[in-house]
Amino acid sequence: MKRFVLFLLLALAVVSLAAQGQDLRLIPYPCYMQAEEGMYAPEGGVATVFTNLRGTDRGELLDYIAASSLPLRAVRRQEGAHVRLLLDNLDPSFTHPEAYRVEITPQGADCYACDVRGLFYAFQTLLWLDGQRVPAGTGRHSLPLVKIYDAPRLEWRGWHMDVSRHYFDKEFLKKQLRMMARYKMNRFHWHLVDDAGWRLEVKRYPELTDSTAFRPWRLWEDWGRAGGRFCSARSKGAYGGYFTQRDVREIVEYARRLHITVVPEIDVPGHSRAVLAAYPSLGCTGKAYENSELCLGAEKTFEFVTGVLSEIIDLFPDEYIHIGGDEADRSHWARCPRCQDLMRREGLQGVEELQSWFTRRVEDWLTSRGRKLIGWDEIMEGGLSSRATVMAWRGEKWGVQAAREGHDVVMTPWQCYLDNAQDDLTTEPRGVGGYVPLRLTYDFDPVPAGLSEAEAAHILGLQGNVWTERIATPQHAEYMIYPRICAIAENGWTLPERKSWERFYTFALDEVDHLHQAGYNAFNLAAEKGDREEAQGPVEHLAVGHSPVYTHPASAKYPGRHGEATLTDGERGSYNYQQGQWLGFEDEDCEVTIDLDSVVTVHEVSADFMQRADQWIWLPAGVVVSASQDGTQWTVLSNEPWEPDFDDPMIRFQRFGWQGTTEARFVRLSAKASGRRGGWLFTDEIIVR
């Protein structure tokens, strides 16, 4: 983690002065900003711009400036220029290549940096400031008088896009990269291949795109239900596409000019259904469409992976190569004779170590060619070389573990998943998971508390992920990305003590207007409804604080924020079943008994349940409520049967229970599992009134 002491000290020393710039809208917010009254407005509406950059850097920056909204005309001489972008490290502490200073006076704007990247970000700041404090409707270009000293908190500030489940073309990607540059983001993680389609031309393996870049169903879910088969581009109704190597070079170069590096991902050894459809001999059974895991016991698998990576290295100049490594079904390797023979020869104790052996072998190959391996946090299971970088997606704890083991880490847990819905789940366009509003993303700190200084130095940064299982159009994708990507940007750039939710929210409202005007289909933040009404405050009832007893314990995957006490803690569940207010039961009934300590008059026993067919969460097949005065003799108060609708695509929250009058010390609620193998029951609170 790179924290810049110079700016931290400045920010702390002049916090009262810096507050003068609070009305100037900037995302991400700078380390130090001191504004004054007044403006710089170019005479005649056009200002001259000078930079002492030379060669390609100079030409590219001036081309970018010429295409921008600011009316600037390039000149060759510094004297008399109104806007100056200068490589000039006046302070020896000011050496980070992305750092910059901006000083705007009545005579013009001076921007300083020690690298072209810093000057590029300085110019982004000028674009943000252009027209601020000018009366609306005047049409004038002007810049407010201000001093800004700025540098990023973290090195990796990224955006991830899955183009396998649904294909998004290069013009869509370029459009998003332009906005990433506005937010001073510097990594594009390109998820090029997965089970649902291979999207990259590989010259030595042409069947990858000839056979698996198209499918006869447009929507991912329909394709999966129909058997997950691919087709040729010439087939009737074929949907999909792929990027030629020429396309890739074009996008990589486009990103480079925006000072964004592209990190390609080739997801192996799992998520390889498309590979095995084209080359079934690379699987353990030798048959297509039987599983999604490459056979690690076959030498030709390693030859295939390194053959693909050889072309990847030629296309992508950045040092990082992402090899996925997540969600592999290792049971196939446990049954495969070739994999088992390899494990015996290498002395591997389990299939986790087999995957680790494969990962280390690929990493050694990449290292010998001057590249760095990065993968999802499953690559830690079974052991991992300290050289490898970990992308922590299953939760903060995996990032903490990786950092403590000496790995560099990119944090990207649930709060960074932009394919989650950001408002009312019952009305919003469907996402892949749960509920992640802007505030939840903004409050995420990518540097976990409790790390030592040395451990925290391994946190490279964070990124926002877009997975496209249920995102089929550019409009839907943009709706999910914006404005939450602004929170990702600020979390990676801005010092924690300089962050402010109230300020950021105000700026984000304005930024949504800017996005709409620029042709982006951003979520309308001003119309946000917020979390589920029941979750917006504590609920008082007779069972709060009483310890429930479970016939079957909740799943260790969803144990609740307060463990067994979660169902009597007075907290109702939000739209997000992963936030800790919900308890999850997998293939089990939910039967809970509560001792109220003494016989009392009871009028209600109820609980809410969730249905999300896309997450295999179903309403119960029936709920029984019983009561007892002594814990031995029980009276059934209600028996409410229910027929779960496994084909219902809607997200539902439904209350089951009993109302009436009885005298009881003990109450019991029994919810029967739906009967669908692998299905879940989720409930948030047992209310007794």
Task: Determine the distance from the C-alpha atom of residue 310 to the mean position of all C-alpha atoms in its chain, rounded to a whole number.
Answer: 28
pLDDT at position 18 is 44
Are 381 and 340 part of one and the same domain?
yes
Are 127 and 202 part of one and the same domain?
no
SS3 state at 9: helix
Proportion of the chain above pLDDT 90, given as a percent:
90
Residue 287 lies in a domain: yes
Residue 679 lies in a domain: yes
pLDDT band at 137 (very low <50, low <70, confident <90, very high): low
Q: What CA–CA distance (Å, rounded) separates 672 from 649?
A: 21
Question: Residue 212's domain is classified under what CATH number?
Answer: 3.20.20.80
Q: Which amino acid is at 204?
A: R
Are 238 and 357 part of one and the same domain?
yes
Q: What CA–CA distance (Å, rounded) separates 512 from 307?
A: 44
CA atoms within 13 A on the CB side of 674: 23
Q: How many residues does the chain have?
A: 689
Angle CA(437)–CA(678)–CA(225) in degrees, nearest 5?
80
Residue 582 lies in a domain: yes
Q: How many domains does the chain have?
A: 3
pLDDT band at 20 (very low <50, low <70, confident <90, very high): low
Residue 24 lies in a domain: yes
Residue 614 lies in a domain: yes
Are 334 and 356 part of one and the same domain?
yes
Are 329 and 460 part of one and the same domain?
yes
Are 145 and 189 part of one and the same domain?
no
Considering only CA atoms, which of 482, 466, 489 is closest in space to residue 189? 466
Burial class (CB in 10 A: 0-12, 13-18, 19+), 318: middle
Are 186 and 291 part of one and the same domain?
yes
Pull the structure tokens for residue 29: 């917010």
For the annotated catalytic residues, the residue numbers are: 194, 271, 327
Is residue 17 over pLDDT 50? no
Residue 186 lies in a domain: yes
Residue where the block lists tokens 């992402």: 322
pLDDT at position 9 is 39
pLDDT at position 573 is 94
pLDDT band at 45 (very low <50, low <70, confident <90, very high): confident
Percent of the chain that is helix, strand, coil (3-state, to 5):
30, 25, 45
Q: Which amino acid is at 71?
A: P
Are 542 and 614 part of one and the same domain?
yes
Are 25 and 70 part of one and the same domain?
yes
Whether the Cβ atoms of residue 593 and residue 548 lie closer than 8 Å to each other: yes
Is residue 228 over pLDDT 50? yes
Query: Once rounded to an integer, what is the mean pLDDT over residues 139-152?
Result: 92
Task: Determine the distance from the C-alpha atom of residue 427 to the mean position of all C-alpha atoms in its chain, rounded to a whole number.
Answer: 22
pLDDT at position 547 is 93
Question: Residue 22's domain is classified under what CATH number?
Answer: 3.30.379.10
pLDDT at position 11 is 42
Is residue 13 over pLDDT 80? no
pLDDT at position 12 is 40
Query: Once rounded to an integer, what is the mean pLDDT over residues 376-381?
Result: 97
Query: Once rounded to an integer, what is the mean pLDDT over residues 17-31?
Result: 78
pLDDT at position 133 is 83
Residue 416 lies in a domain: no
Last residue of a domain, one of 133, 150, 167: 150
SS3 state at 313: helix
Neighbouring C-beta atoms of residue 80, cutoff 10 Å: 9
Are 103 and 244 part of one and the same domain?
no
pLDDT tens per residue, range 566-608: 999 999 999 989 889 999 999 999 999 999 999 999 999 999 9
Q: How far is CA 686 from CA 263, 601, 610, 655, 666, in A?
A: 47, 16, 14, 10, 13
pLDDT tens per residue, range 325-367: 999 999 999 999 999 999 999 999 999 999 999 999 999 999 9
DSSP state of 463: E
Q: What CA–CA distance (Å, rounded) separates 85 from 79?
A: 13
- Domain of 213, in residue numbers: 156-411+424-433+444-469
pLDDT, mean over the chain: 94
The crossing angle, in degrees rounded to 10, of helices 170-182 and 474-481 is 20
Are 24 and 161 part of one and the same domain?
no
Q: What are phi and psi of 197, to 5 degrees?
A: 160, 145
| Edge-to-edge strand ranges of the sheet holding 100-105 | 32-40, 143-150, 100-105, 108-113, 83-87, 47-51, 72-74
Whether the Cβ atoms of residue 342 and residue 297 lie closer than 8 Å to each other: yes
Neighbouring C-beta atoms of residue 676, cutoff 10 Å: 14
Residue 25 lies in a domain: yes
Pull the structure tokens for residue 66: 């010429």
Whether the Cβ atoms of residue 490 and residue 499 lie closer than 8 Å to each other: yes
Whether the Cβ atoms of residue 359 and residue 375 lie closer than 8 Å to each other: yes
Whether the Cβ atoms of residue 439 and residue 391 lie closer than 8 Å to each other: no
As beta bridge partners, residue 215 has 239
Q: Which DSSP helix (H) or strand (E) runs through 11?
A: helix 5-13
Question: Residue 682's domain is classified under what CATH number?
Answer: 2.60.120.1190
Last residue of a domain, one of 120, 150, 180: 150
Last residue of a domain, one of 90, 125, 150: 150
pLDDT at position 431 is 80
Q: In sequence order, what are the residues at sequence separation of 6 or more whose Cβ sits closer than 8 angstroms to the Cβ of residue 294?
A: 268, 269, 270, 272, 275, 276, 282, 283, 301, 304, 305
Are 574 and 639 part of one and the same domain?
yes
Pull the structure tokens for residue 188: 């594009």
